[in-house]
Amino acid sequence: MADGRYTEALEVDARGGMASPRRERLNRTRPLARIAAILGGKDHIKACELLIPRVRADLDAGRVMAAALAAETAIRATVVEMDGALDEPNHERDLDLLETMLADLTQMTDALLATPEVWAGLATSLEEPLVTAERVIRRHRILIQ
C-alpha cells in the first residue's frame, strides 16, 4: 500500500520473512520435529522446559501463590540442567544471575509456606527470574537445534 508519489518501490513479504522457502518450512516444522523426537524416545525434555512454562501460565492466570511456590524449583532446575549446555557468554551470565536469585526465591518460598498469603509485589518479584529462565531455555532451543 502506498500514498503519494514515488519513483521506486520495494516489494516486501507480508508474512514478515525474507528467508528462503526451505528455511521458512524448517522454522515452521522444527517444533513438530522436536515433539516427534521426544515421543519417539530420540530426544528428551528437560524438567525446566516443563516447569518454567507452568510457572508462567500460573502467573499469567493470576495464580500467584502457585507460581511463587513452584518458581524456586523451576529456577533451580534451569540452573542445574542448563549449566554447561552452551558455550556462550550471555548464556553463562544469565545462569549466574539465576543462581544469585535462588537465595531470595528460597526465602520467599519459606515465607509463603509459613504464612500462605499473597503479599503486594509478589507477582512482580517473580517476573525477573522467570523472564531470565525463559531466555535461557529459548536460547538453548535456538542454538542447539
Per-residue pLDDT of the chain (145 residues; tens, 9 = 90+): 566 677 777 666 665 656 677 777 766 776 777 778 778 888 788 999 999 999 999 999 999 999 999 999 999 999 999 998 788 888 899 999 999 999 999 999 999 999 888 888 999 999 999 999 999 999 888 777 6
Residue 109 lies in a domain: yes
Instruction: Give the whole-angstrom CA distance, residue 134 versus residue 49.
Output: 9
pLDDT of residue 80: 94
Query: Is residue 106 in a domain?
Result: yes
Please report whether residue 5 resides in a domain: no
**Number of structural domains in the chain:** 1
| Predicted local confidence at residue 22, as pLDDT | 77
Residue 90 placed within a domain: yes
Domain assignment present for 51: yes
Residue 38 in any domain: the answer is no
Which residue in this structure is represented by grid cell 501460565? 57
Residue 13: DSSP 8-state: -
Residue 68 lies in a domain: yes
Structure confidence at residue 17 (pLDDT): 58
Residue 145 CB neighbours (<10 A): 11
Predicted pLDDT of residue 127: 95
d(CA 107, CA 72): 10
The span from the CA of 6 to the CA of 142, in Å, is 40
Q: Tell me the angle at which helices 47-60 and 64-82 cross, rounded to the nearest 10 degrees.
A: 160
Q: Is residue 26 part of a domain?
A: no
Supply the pLDDT for residue 97: 96
Whole domain around residue 94: which residue ranges?
A: 47-144
